[in-house]
Structure 1
Amino acid sequence: MKNFSMPEQVSPTLEIDELMRLKHSLEKNVSREVAESIIKEIPLSINSTPDIRAEWVEKLSAILENRFDKKTVKNIRQECYCNENGRLEDTANNLKQLYLSLDKDLHRFVNALNENGAGWFIKDNQLYTKMFTCECPMLEKAKNSNSLTWCHCTAGYNKKLFEIVFEKPVYVEIVQSIRQGFDFCLLRITFQ
């Protein structure tokens, strides 16, 4: 997949963590019975190969898309974000310190990040962020897909991140993704 790079650290419990997040999210958004049924239907073995993980992602995405409406699919996947062994909080706190040091001025914050090549911008009071690489170890060998189902976890991750940074609720939407064949992922953050 174009613009894919493995994260610096991949958890040795990657598959178990992935299944537990999925189960928890299915229980929260649908039911315990459905969660158990789907987990049994698409097992994921520990220490699976990148090809097996990519195939599992495709099967799971198809199951979710065929059984639930788009809103439910988004909610399920947004609850499946990982925190990369605490990296989410570390990143959020570093960004928050920068934001606070700039007197909570969103324009100055974006400009400061863009000095390091972030490519972020503000349009119609919404923040747009770019991600130039996909570091999801589940997608290492995945093919491009028009579906955003798998990528909604990135929206959940960024929702958590930006709510820490800005100390208020945000809505995050994926506008486009590397998985769709674009050169970068583009997310729109709306302040609530």
Structure 2
Amino acid sequence: MPLDAEHKEQDRWIKTLVDKMDDALCEEACNQIMEKCGRQCIPSHVISEAARAYSQASDIDDFLTRLNEMKMNGGNLSREGNIIQIRCEKFYCGCSLGWNKAFFEAIFQRPVDVKLVESIVSGADRCLIKADLVFIMAGSAYLPAI
């Protein structure tokens, strides 16, 4: 899907910002800033809607289907074992790590290990974030209670 002019400008601005941060700061500082920015931009109504979907879901796969139908995270969630994969739009890549960490920790009410696996800014052709749900038993779609 092609980006519109506003998103192209936003993409250029974010890439310039990240490039400047990379020049001036260490990688750890850059990552902390981007994660904090992402955590700040998640609206409480998004958490409420997702929590409602979670409480109505029969298992993790049903929960992800409901989130995708609601276009949460762009409707790009999938699961492989204990890992939820999140593909995000190019212009959201940098701050999506913090957004998704805040999102899944609020829903599951426990720490969730979220990692940026691939990034457009780092040269990949897509952004891919993985959330490790270690509390899900291997091979099952166990849905922990909230």
Q: TM-score, normalised by structure 1?
A: 0.52
Per-residue deviation, 1:4: 6.8
The answer for the alignment partner of 2:91 in structure 1 is 134
Q: Name the residue aligned to 1:12.
A: none
Give the CA deviation at 1:99. 0.8
Larger Rg: 1
Instruction: Call closer, same or farther: CA 1:83–1:122 in 2, change over 3 Å.
Output: same
The residue type paired with residue 89 of structure 2 is F
Residue identity over aligned pairs, in percent, reads 22
- AA partner of residue 93 (structure 1): S
Residue 91 (structure 1) shift: 1.3
Matches within 5 A, 1:22-171: 54-64=15-25, 68=26, 70-81=27-38, 83-84=40-41, 87-103=42-58, 105-115=59-69, 118-132=75-89, 134-135=91-92, 151=94, 153-171=95-113
The whole-number CA distance in structure 1 between the counterparts of 2:3 and 2:124 is: 9
Deviation at 1:181, TM superposition (A): 5.3
Alignment check: 8 A CA contact 1:155 1:187 kept: yes
Calculate the aligned-residue CA RMSD, in Å: 3.2
Contact 1:174 1:188 in 2 (8 A): yes
Cα deviation 1:141-172 (Å, max 9, x = unaligned): xxxxxxxxxx1x32112111111111111111
Unaligned 5+ segments in structure 2 are: 135-146
Aligned to 2:144: none
How big is each residue's C-alpha offset from its partner over 1:90-136, in whole Å with a ceiling of 9 and x where there is no partner? 21221111011114x21111123344672322113111112235258
User: Which runs of 5 or more residues in structure 1 are unaligned?
Assistant: 8-48, 137-150
Give the match for residue 20 of structure 1. Answer: none
Conserved? CA contact 1:175–1:187, under 8 Å = yes
